[in-house]
Structures are given as C-alpha cells and as structure tokens.
Amino acid sequence: MKTITTINPANNQVLMEYNLHTQEEVDKILEETEKAYFINRKTSFETRSALMNKAAELLEERKDILAETMTSEMGKTYLSAQSEVEKCAWVCRYYADNAKQFLQMKW
C-alpha cells in the first residue's frame, strides 16, 4: 500500500506515515460529500453562523495542540503557529457575522 510521510522540517524526523486512500475509498468519500452538500445547502444562515462560531471556539480551545502540530509539521515557530490559529478563529467569527450580508450584495 502506498503511503505519505510527514517529516519535521527542522530535524528531518519522521512524524507519521499515512496510508493513501484507494480509488474506491476516494469515490465513496466524494459520494458522501456530495450527499452532505445537498443536505447542508438548505441550512439556514443562523445555523451556519452558529457552526462557524463553534468552529472558532474549537480552534481556540485546541490552540496549543494545533500550534504544536503546526510547529512540528511545518517548521513554524510556536508563537507564529498560535497566532495563525487565532487568526483562523477570527476569520470564522468574521464570516459567521458577515457572510449573510456578503451573499446578499449585488456586484
């Protein structure tokens, strides 16, 4: 089976090996994703906003572990990685608050 390897760029240490999906697995994932799309596209903006705010909360709750992962997998400094997680949480909140208005705009 083919794999992909995650390597720490700072020290070339192998962090993890992942098995690649088979074509059948990819097809099934795509099929499930399409089904979810047709269900979720009917979701209200209020529900979507709540989900984006929840995503922001989870990012903030998991900031340290996410920063550790980013540091080991991408070579970022820990403080830079924490800032990136905070930025991602901010963006989730921004779109939770503004996406409905953006989508109503006429360009």
Helix (DSSP H) and strand (DSSP E) numbers for the chain = 4, 2
Contact 87, 70 (CB under 8 A): no
Q: Work out how many domains the chain is built from and give that number.
A: 2
**Same structural domain for residues 19 and 51?**
no
Any idea which residue has 């989730």 for tokens?
92
Element (H, E) at 71: helix 63-74
pLDDT for 44: 92
**Domain of 37, in residue numbers:** 1-42
Report the pLDDT value the prediction gives residue 106, as an integer from 0 to 100. 81
Alpha-carbon distance 19 to 8, whole Å? 18
Regions of the chain with pLDDT less than 50: none
Same domain, 85 and 98: yes
Whole-prediction pTM value? 0.83
Tokens of 64: 């340290």
Question: What amino acid is encoded at 7 in this protein?
Answer: I
Residues 37, 49, single domain; the answer is no
